[in-house]
Chain A
Amino acid sequence: MAVAISASQRKFERVNEIIQKHNGKKSALIAILQEIQEEYRYLPEEILTYVATAMDLSPATVFGVATFYAQFSLEPKGKYIIKVCDGTACHVRGSGPLYKSIRKKVGLQDGKFTTEDMNFTVETVSCLGACGLAPVVTINEKVYGQMTPEGIEIIIEKLMGKEDNQ
C-alpha cells in the first residue's frame, strides 16, 4: 500500500492548490469540485472528505453538493466519455436506439456505464443545445451531429483500433 499512500499524498497537494486558488471560499465549492474532477476525471471519496476538512465544512455538505449535480461523478470514468444527448429533439430523432447500439458496441452489460478496460464510459446527457443536429453524440469534447447507429459504430471501431494498437 506504500505506493498508494504516496500517490494519494500527491493528490492532496494538487487539491490544496485548487482550494487555495479559490481562497477556500465556501461559495467556490462547486468550482473547486469541478477543477478537482478535471484533474482526476472523477471525485474520489477520500478527496471529498479531505476537501471537507480543508474547507472546514461537514463531509455531508461536500457529498451533498457532489451528488446533487449531474456533472460530478463519484466513480472513475473511461478514457473516452461518450455522451448521448437525450434532449427532446434528439429523443424524437432516435437517441434511444443510438444509446443502446453504443452500449452494445463497447460491450456494456446491465447497470454498468464504464467498460472493464476503462476505455469507454457511455452516458446520456439532458441537452447539449445542438438540437438542430439531432441526434447528437459527443466523445470527450468532440461533437458528432445527425448520428446513426451505423455511423457511431464506425467511429467507435476506430477508437477501439487506436487503443488496441497501443
Chain B
Amino acid sequence: MVQKINSQQILTDAKNSAIERLEHDSIRVLICAGTGCVAGGSLEVAAAIQTATAGDMKTQVSFIEDGCEGIAVKTSGCHGFCAMGPLVRIEPLGLLYCKVTVEDVPEIVEKTIKKGETIERLAYRHPSTDEIYPVEHEIPFYKNQTRIGLMNCGIIDPEDLGEYLAHDGYQALAKVLGMNSQEVVDQIKAAGLRGRGGGGFSTGQKWQFALNEDREQKYVICNGDEGDPGAFMDRSIMEGDPHKVIEGLMIAGYATGANAGYLYVRAEYPLAVKRLRKAIKDAEEAGLLGENILGTDFSFKALIKEGAGAFVCGEETALMASIEGERGMPKPKPPFPAQKGLWGCPTTINNVETLANVPNIILKGVEWFRSLGTDKSPGTKTFAITGDVANTGLIEVPMGLTLREILFDIGGGIRNNKEFKAVQIGGPSGGCLTPEHLDMPLDFDSLAKVGAMIGSGGLVVMDNETCIVEVARFFMEFTQNESCGKCVLCREGTKRMLEILQRIVDGEGEMKDIDNLLDIAYAVKDGSLCGLGKTAPNPVLTTLKYFYDEYVAHIQDKKCPAGICEALKGYSINADKCKGCSKCARVCPVGAITGEIKKPYKLDQDKCIKCGACVSACPFNAVEVG
C-alpha cells in the first residue's frame, strides 16, 4: 500500500525520502529509452548493464572514496541527441556514451562503473575538429542549450514517481493550491507564456477566458496530437517526464476551475500513452490525483484519449469532436472552446510543452522566466532538428536565438559538408527559411513577419541536393490527404494545387501554372475555416517567394537543378572525367551511348531512358545526373 500524499507536509517528506533514496545510489546509469534509442537497441543495452551490475557490485567500485552505496541502472526519457543513440549517461561522472551496443557493456562495467575511467571511443567525437567530449554538458550540442521543459528528460526514470518528487515534482501544484485561481492566472499572464503548439497565443489570457465563465463543469485538455511531420518534442516530454505534463494540466485545471482533464495523445505514440497511463495510475495511488488533493477542496481526474491518426485533430475544435467520439472536423469559432467546448462546457486546451513550462514558472517565478528569451516571447522553445543536419535531435534554447546558432553551433552544420539550402519550420503549415534568414532571431513575431511560423518547432534542414519544388509538392500531398473535407476551398483547392505541383515535377508544367497556384493559394487561405486550410498554401507561397527560379527551371528548362525529380533527370558524360573505357556503352540497354575506345563517350538524350545503369557502371564517376 502506497502512502497517501494528502498534505503538503507529507509531500515534503516524500520528496526528502526520494532524494535520500537517489543519493543512496552513488552511481546512476541512465540509458535512453526514447523511441529513437529503443529502435537502436537501447533496451537490450539496459538489460545487459542490469545483468552485469546485479549482485554485489558495490564492493568492486573503486573510484568513489567512501565506497559505493548502490548502483542504479535506469531507463530514462529522451536525452535529445538522437543522432548518437543509443545513449548511456553515467552519473556522478557526467559521462555520455554514444552509439552504445551490447558488446560495449562489459567494458563499460569494468572500466567506467568499477574504476571511473572514461572510454574514449564511446565518447562524442566532433566530426570536424576530431575533439573528444566525454562529459555531456561540454558537448557543443548540449552546451548551448537551456533546458526547462526538457529539464528532467534523460535525467529521471519517467516511470518512477519518486524520482519526479525528488526533482520538485508536484511542488508547484502544492504552491498553487495555496493561491486563488485568479492569482495563478495572473502569474502565468505576467510571465508572458505563449502557446508552444504553434499559435503563440497568451496562455494566461486563454486561462482567463475559461475562468471568467461561471459554469459548474469545465474541462482542460492537453493537446498531445503532435501531427506536424518532423516534430517530436511533445512525444519526448510525454515519454520522458509524464508527471510534469500531468502537473501542468492540474494547475491549468485549478486556475480555470476545471476538475477533469483529458490528455489527447496521437495513436502513433504508443510509448507516450503507456508512460502517461502509468504516471496517472501512480499519481492516483499516491492521492495526488483524485478527491481533495493535498487535503484541499481541489479534486481532479485525468483521462487519456488516444487519437486515431488525423492531423486536423491538432485543431482545438476538431480535437474536441474526436474526444466526443466523432469525426474530427473543425467547427467555426466563436463560440470559442473557453465558452462552449467539450460537451458544451468551457474548455481550455494547451499544448504539451506549454503545460510542461507551467510548474517551473510557478516555482521559480515570473522574473526568472522573463529573464530567458525575448521581451515578447519569453522563455525557451524546444526544436526538433532533423533532415540534412549533422546532429539530429531534440534541443531546447531560449527564444530569439538565431537560426545560425541553432543549425551550426548546436546542429553541427549541414551533413557531409554540403551547402545549406533551406529549413522548413513549423511543419507543413509553416514556411521555409533560406540562407538570408540565418541571422534572424527565432521567435513568434519575427517568424510571422517573414510568412513562416514557429509551429510546434520542427526544423527540417535541407541541403542543396533537395528539390524545393518536390518538397512543396510533398507538403501539399500531406495537407491534401489530411484535409477533412469540410471547407470546399481547402478540399478542392489543395487537390488542384497538388495536381499542378505534380505536373511541374513531372516536367509537364506551364508558366501559367504559377499564376494558378498563387490564385488558388490565396483563395484557400481566405476561404478555410481552420488553421489547416489557412496555412496549407504556406509552403507553396514561401517557396515561390524564395525559389522562384527553381520553379521556372522545372517549367521552362525542364530541369531539376537539384537532380531529384525523376522525370527531369538528364544524364550526361563529363568529357574530362571519361577515359573512354566503354563500360557505360556496354551496359546501356537502349544503345544511347556511343564513342570510340580511349576517347570521351557521348550520350544521346533522346534515346536515354534514364535507367541509371551507366552511372553504376562508370568507374570514374563521369556520368553526371542533373
Interface string of A11-31 (1 = CB under 8 A from B): 000000000000001111111
- Among A34, A128, A142, max chain B CB count under 10 A is at A128
Q: Does A71 contact B (CB under 8 A)?
A: yes
Interface residues of A in 35-69 (CB under 8 A from B): 61, 64-65, 68-69
- With A88-B428, A132-B394 known to touch, is A69 a contact of B325 (CB < 8 Å)? no
Interface residues of B in 266-324 (CB under 8 A from A): 267-270, 305-311, 322-324
Q: Please state if B268 and A145 are interface contacts (CB–CB under 8 Å).
A: no
| A55 shortest CB reach to chain B, Å | 10
Q: Does B420 contact A (CB under 8 A)?
A: no
Stretch at the interface among B228-236, B433-441, B568-576: B228-236
Q: Does B478 contact A (CB under 8 A)?
A: yes
Interface string of A111-126 (1 = CB under 8 A from B): 0000000000000011
- Complex formed: what's the CA distance from A88 to B38 in Å? 21
Q: Does A82 contact B (CB under 8 A)?
A: no
- Among B229, B306, B428, B466, max chain A CB count under 10 A is at B229
Stretch at the interface among A2-10, A89-97, A101-109, A154-162: A89-97
Q: Please state if A129 and B35 are interface contacts (CB–CB under 8 Å).
A: yes
Q: Please state if B267 and A132 are interface contacts (CB–CB under 8 Å).
A: no
- With A93-B387, A129-B268 known to touch, is A87 a contact of B230 (CB < 8 Å)? yes
- Complex formed: what's the CA distance from A5 to B478 in Å? 41
- With A27-B323, A132-B83 known to touch, is A88 a contact of B474 (CB < 8 Å)? yes
Interface string of B392-425 (1 = CB under 8 A from A): 1110000000000000000000000000000010
Q: Does B227 contact A (CB under 8 A)?
A: yes
Q: A69 is contacted by which of B83, B309, B384, B471 (Cβ under 8 Å)?
A: B309
- With A88-B460, A129-B235 known to touch, is A26 a contact of B388 (CB < 8 Å)? no
Q: Does B462 contact A (CB under 8 A)?
A: yes
Q: Please state if B392 and A30 are interface contacts (CB–CB under 8 Å).
A: no
Residues of B within 8 A of A125 (CB): 268
- Complex formed: what's the CA distance from A131 to B478 in Å? 17
- Complex formed: what's the CA distance from A24 to B458 in Å? 39
- Extra contacts, 10 of them, besides A29-B325, A92-B388, A131-B392 (Cβ < 8 A), are A26-B325, A30-B308, A30-B322, A87-B229, A89-B460, A129-B231, A131-B460, A132-B36, A132-B232, A132-B392
Chain B residues near A (Cβ < 8 Å): 35-36, 38-40, 82-83, 85, 226-232, 235, 267-270, 305-311, 322-329, 384, 386-388, 392-394, 424, 427-428, 458, 460, 462, 466, 471, 474-475, 478, 481-482, 484
Q: Could you give 21 example pairs across A and B, Cβ below 8 Å?
A: A29-B325, A29-B326, A31-B306, A68-B310, A68-B328, A69-B310, A70-B309, A71-B309, A87-B230, A88-B471, A89-B386, A91-B229, A92-B462, A93-B387, A127-B227, A127-B228, A129-B268, A130-B82, A133-B39, A133-B40, A145-B40
